[in-house]
Amino acid sequence: MTADHDDREPDFARAAEALKWATKVAVLTGAGVSAESGVPTFRASDGLWEGHRIEDVATPMGFEANPELVWRFYNGRRVNVAKVNPNPGHHALVKLEQRYGDGFAIATQNVDGLHQRAGSKTVFEVHGSLHRTRCINCEKVEDRGLEDLGNRPLCPHCGGFLRPDIVWFHEPLPEDIWMRAMVAAEECDVFLVVGTSAVVYPAASVIPIAKANGATVVECNLTRTDASHAADVGLYGPSGQTLPKLLAKLS
Ligand code: OAD
């Protein structure tokens, strides 16, 4: 064994082999893909939910009870995301899209917009977007960038109260986007599960859907997760390293 021997080589080779045969590839991403950009994940010991009760900042009831607190939380996230950049994991997914074209789609649970900033084209944001606001009166959805909107922003059109266009707990996923994510999972030959704990449903249900439809499931995460039992191959390590390494094996 040499000093640069990597025990994970056979796993990378298997994943690369599956990708070489694939014509359709779908991806589910979670907070872990943005971790190396400096966006905190949710369930880590220093994660976003630490110090916040989910019910207070990520449910419609929490917003009704204390909209200022909810806006403070999301303004903080908006301002943080404005300061960071996509990392090599995001860029590797852009390259994969260039390889598979229309046969490639990302379903992301992330609301940070970093896939699009990296250059990914087909991105289904199943949990909404930090960039967007939605008026609770006229329901107009708008891209408001990432600046701090203040603690009680109002709709510039009707004067109603704005909320972040984020899917909160107890709310349904946007139907059209979710349908497209499910179709991509059903039709793909390879399904990559990147940087998600895979504990939040229905988003995580695309993993068994892909598996049941015959896809090779490849998990890219720091550790094993709830998705690992469905994975045919696990590439464990930071996705900013594992995804570029996988990509390099395709050329
Ligand atoms: P979590 O915080 O639950 O999980 C992040 C995952 O990323 C964990 O499995 C980590 O091991 C992994 N991870 C961390 N750093 C990584 C790295 N550099 N490379 C690869 N993997 C890494 O975040 P999500 O699974 O995205 O929903 O959470 C799902 C949903 O729960 C979120 O969309 C959010 C949250 O509640 C809403 O807000 C509606």
Residue whose Cα lies nearest atom 15 of ligand 1: it is: 32
Does 157 participate in catalysis according to the annotation? no
Residue 34 C-alpha to ligand 1 middle, in angstroms? Answer: 9
Does ligand 1 come within 6 angstroms of the Cβ of 153? no
User: Mapping DSSP to helix (H, G, I), strand (E, B) and coil, where does residue 151 land?
Assistant: coil
Residue 46 C-alpha to ligand 1 middle, in angstroms? Answer: 12
Residue whose Cα lies nearest atom 25 of ligand 1: it is: 196
pLDDT beyond 80 at 240: yes
Q: Which of 90, 127, 131, 229 is catalytic?
A: 127
Q: End-to-end CA distance of the chain: give it in Å, rounded.
A: 26
Q: Cα separation of 183 and 7, whole Å? A: 35
* Cβ contact 144:133 at 8 Å: yes
The pLDDT of residue 46 is 79
Does ligand 1 come within 6 angstroms of the Cβ of 19? no
Q: What is the rounded average pLDDT of the residues 184-208?
A: 98
pLDDT beyond 60 at 1: no
pLDDT beyond 70 at 3: no
The pLDDT of residue 56 is 94
Of the listed ranges 18-22, 53-57, 59-63, the least confidently predicted one is 53-57
Q: Cα separation of 250 and 78, whole Å? A: 35
Q: What is the rounded average pLDDT of the residues 19-31?
A: 98
199-202 contact pairs (CB < 8 A, 24+): 199/43, 199/225, 199/226, 200/109, 202/173, 202/178
pLDDT tens digits, 109-157: 999 999 999 999 999 999 999 999 999 999 999 999 999 999 999 999 9
The pLDDT of residue 4 is 55
Q: What is the rounded average pLDDT of the residues 60-66?
A: 97
Q: Cα separation of 48 and 223, whole Å? A: 19
pLDDT beyond 90 at 58: yes
pLDDT tens digits, 150-185: 999 999 999 999 999 999 999 999 999 999 999 999
pLDDT beyond 90 at 5: no
The pLDDT of residue 48 is 79
What average pLDDT does the chain have? 95
70 Cβ contact list (under 8 Å, min separation 6) = 56, 57, 62, 63, 163, 164
Q: What is the rounded average pLDDT of the residues 226-248?
A: 97
187 burial level (CB within 10 Å; 0-12, 13-18, 19+): middle
User: Mapping DSSP to helix (H, G, I), strand (E, B) and coil, where does residue 248 land?
Assistant: helix
**How far, CA to CA in Å, does 87 sit from each of 43, 147, 153?**
21, 22, 31
Residue whose Cα lies nearest atom 7 of ligand 1: it is: 32
Selection from 19, 18, 44 nearest residue 31 by Cα: 44
Percent of the chain at pLDDT > 90 equals 91
